[in-house]
Amino acid sequence: MTNTKLAILEKNNKTKYFIIGSLAIGTATFLGIKIFKIINWYNALKISITSKIHNYRNGNIILKCQVQIDNPKNFKITITKPAIRIFSGNKLIAKSSQSKEKITIQSNTVTTINYDIEIPLLSGELYKILLTAGVGITNYIKQLSEGTATNLNLGLNLTVKGYMQIYFMEKEFTNNITI
């Protein structure tokens, strides 16, 4: 091969490497900006949880929970419905069902996600906690099952933890509630 042909091949290789390198840098920059936006969005979210005893059915208290996600950012994003777990101290007493439902968090607004969470009252951790606390559990269960309970409040302080994930990042949020 002549020196001219070698010089042309070498120049073509440099051009290929330059193009490949430029594409790699462009892709890395694009992904970096997207990741930064998601992290910034996660940190800006304001999440609160409210709940109350709604009903009693088949030995379970039905707890109505609402998760309010305040998105102050100027873009919307779709997430999988967050998972909710309810604790008394470090004891898990109930959790939401696993869901693949997609929730769109609109920009500059509060999005509300509703849950009906069943807490076993006649067995499990809540029953043990209520017995230990001295709550008149048998009277309360009787009133619930007869539909005569006027006060659907146990006066029990619980911790609600929520977990939501988008892409590879998980955000945990915690609120204390009284039921």
Domain boundaries, the chain: 1-44, 45-178
3-class state of residue 18 by DSSP: helix
User: For residue 130, what pLDDT band results from cuts at 50, 70 and 90?
Assistant: confident
Architecture of the CATH domain 45-178: Sandwich (2.60)
pLDDT by residue (tens digit) across 86-107?
A: 988 888 888 998 888 899 999 9
Euclidean distance between CA atoms 104 and 94, whole angstroms: 25
Would you say 103 and 113 are in contact if contact means Cβ atoms under 8 Å apart?
yes
Averaged confidence pLDDT in the chain = 80
Give the total residue count for the chain: 179
pLDDT by residue (tens digit) across 32-90?
A: 888 888 777 777 888 888 888 888 888 788 889 999 999 998 888 888 899 999 988 88
In the prediction, which pLDDT does 44 show? Answer: 81
Decide which of 84 and 133 is more confident.
84
Euclidean distance between CA atoms 174 and 12, whole angstroms: 58
Beta strand pairing call for 157-166 and 109-120: unpaired
Question: Pick from 39, 31, 27, 68: which is nearest to 166 by CA?
Answer: 39
